[in-house]
């Protein structure tokens, strides 16, 4: 098995640190955490709760040290190479753009060993980034939870029933799936080449919703509405719930002036947003896509579509440094 116990002669236990849980159930792993960010610390805590042994964690910032103390009490802090040497499964939970460099740096100091499980939680990347940067013979696993994290204990409950995208080498997929199931999640298989598209979909469907709601809230606040959330909350929840129920073909849930072919109202919106360039740019872009969906779904006809597109006008790029010039 890839996680067969190996003696640790260099890690925290050998250096006199206390290591919890010397007696482990069969199939339990010694886990090392490299990067105690919001995701990594929670994942490590979840695996610890089901009997795995978190032997060490690397943390530098005050926030990371606080997460280890709160979510992984008693786990010693150690340099990344010592964390790796002490572990059978390594959680390499660093930012996406740092995965390759950190993995390669650990390879340069010969911290990895063949048969070691190495997990990253990036949505964008599959396993190639680990296989290329780390030592040959490791078992790379990509396990991405499709949820947001606060880096606190409240995230643990949210892992239950969360979907995790898993990518693994041939024959190793059951290992990644089992880890997800142990945490209470639901694994779905995403192929290596589909990871960027998978992650783009999540960002577009979640992060960009936050951007749109933030802009809409600012528009309402600008006209003196003190609690924009009370206005937007019911409407936003109903819209998102409806879209999810009908996904991926949610044309029936579209509402608003574009799907009514009301070009005059769209023109009024553009005029109202003229001095808010960022919101205007976003409104135009999303209104065009909405018009495309409405036309393809039969909500508006070609003539109405043409009127809407003409009203929206050319999609001039937002110039860096553009700001709201309202006095």
User: How high is the pLDDT of residue 233?
Assistant: 93
Instruction: Give the span between the Cα atoms of 268 and 311, in whole angstroms.
Output: 10
Q: Higher pLDDT residue, 17 or 208?
A: 208
Express as a percent the part of the chain with pLDDT over 70: 88
Per-chain mean pLDDT for the chain: 87
What is the pLDDT at residue 318? 54
Span 82-122, pLDDT tens digits: 999 999 999 999 999 999 999 999 999 999 999 999 999 99
Q: What does the pLDDT read at residue 10?
A: 35
For residue 193, what pLDDT is reported?
A: 96
Tell me: pLDDT of 26 over 80. Answer: no
In the block, tokens 């260099």 appear at 10
CA 102 to centroid of chain Cα atoms: 20
Interval 277-291: pLDDT, tens: 999 999 999 999 999
Give the pLDDT of residue 316.
59
Percent pLDDT > 90 in the chain is 73
> What is the largest distance, in Å, between two alpha-carbon atoms of the chain?
77
Q: Write a three-state SS string for the chain.
A: CCCCCCCCCCCCCCCCCCCCCCCCCCCCCEEEEECCCHHHHHHHHHHHHCCCEEEEEECCCHHHHHHHHHHCCCCCECCHHHHHHHCCEEEECCCHHHHHHHHHHHHHCCCCCCCCEEEECCCCCCCHHHHHHCCCCCEEEEEEECCCCCCCCHHHHHHCCCEEEEECCCCCHHHHHHHHHHCCCEEEECCHHHHHHHHHHHHHHHHHHHHHHHHHHHHHHHCCCCCHHHHHHHHHHHHHHHHHHHCCCCHHHCCCHHHHCCHHHHHHHHHHCCCCHHHHHHHHHHHHHHHHHHHHCCCCCHHHHHHHHHHHCCCCCCCCCCCCCCC
pLDDT tens digits along 164-205: 999 999 899 999 999 999 999 999 999 999 999 999 999 988
Of 70-74, 142-146, 248-252, 269-273, the range with the lowest mean pLDDT is: 248-252
Looking at residue 324, its pLDDT comes to 45
pLDDT at 19 over 70: no
The pLDDT assigned to 23 comes to: 52
Comparing CA positions, the residue from 19, 84, 88 lying closest to residue 58 is 84
pLDDT at position 74 over 60: yes
pLDDT for the residue 127: 96
Tell me the per-residue pLDDT of 210-259, one tens digit each, with 9 for 90 and over: 999 999 999 999 999 999 999 999 999 998 888 888 877 767 888 899 99
Provide the pLDDT confidence category of residue 129 given band limits of 50, 70 and 90: very high
Whether 3 has a pLDDT exceeding 50, the answer reads: no
């Amino acid at each position: 098995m890839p996680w067969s116990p190996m003696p640790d002669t260099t890690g925290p236990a050998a250096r006199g640190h206390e290591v919890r849980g010397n007696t482990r159930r069969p199939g339990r792993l010694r886990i090392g955490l490299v990067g105690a960010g919001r995701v990594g610390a929670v994942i490590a805590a979840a695996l610890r709760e089901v009997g795995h042994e978190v032997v060490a964690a690397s943390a530098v910032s005050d926030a990371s040290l606080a997460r280890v103390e709160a979510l992984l009490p008693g786990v010693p802090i150690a340099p990344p190479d010592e964390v790796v040497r002490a572990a059978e499964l390594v959680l390499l939970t660093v930012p996406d753009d740092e995965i390759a460099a950190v993995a390669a740096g650990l390879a340069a100091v010969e911290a990895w060993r063949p048969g070691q499980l190495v997990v990253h939680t990036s949505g964008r990347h599959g396993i190639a980034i680990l296989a290329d940067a780390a030592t040959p013979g490791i078992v790379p696993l990509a396990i991405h939870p499709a949820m947001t994290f606060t880096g606190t204990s409240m995230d643990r409950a949210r892992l239950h029933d969360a979907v995790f995208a898993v990518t693994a080498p041939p024959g190793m997929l059951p290992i990644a799936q089992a880890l997800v199931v142990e945490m209470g999640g639901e694994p779905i298989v995403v192929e290596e080449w589909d990871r960027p598209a998978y992650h783009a979909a999540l960002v577009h469907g979640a992060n960009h919703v936050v951007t749109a709601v933030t802009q809409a809230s600012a528009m309402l606040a600008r006209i003196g509405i003190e609690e924009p959330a009370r206005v937007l909350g019911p409407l936003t929840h109903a819209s998102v719930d409806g879209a999810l129920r009908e996904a991926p073909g949610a044309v029936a849930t579209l509402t608003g002036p574009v799907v009514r072919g009301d070009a005059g109202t769209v023109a009024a919106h553009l005029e109202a947003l003229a001095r808010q360039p960022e919101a205007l740019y976003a409104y135009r872009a999303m209104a065009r896509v909405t018009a495309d969906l409405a036309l393809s779904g039969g909500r508006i006809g070609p003539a109405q579509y043409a009127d809407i597109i003409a009203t929206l006008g050319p999609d001039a790029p937002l110039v860096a440094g553009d700001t709201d010039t309202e006095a």
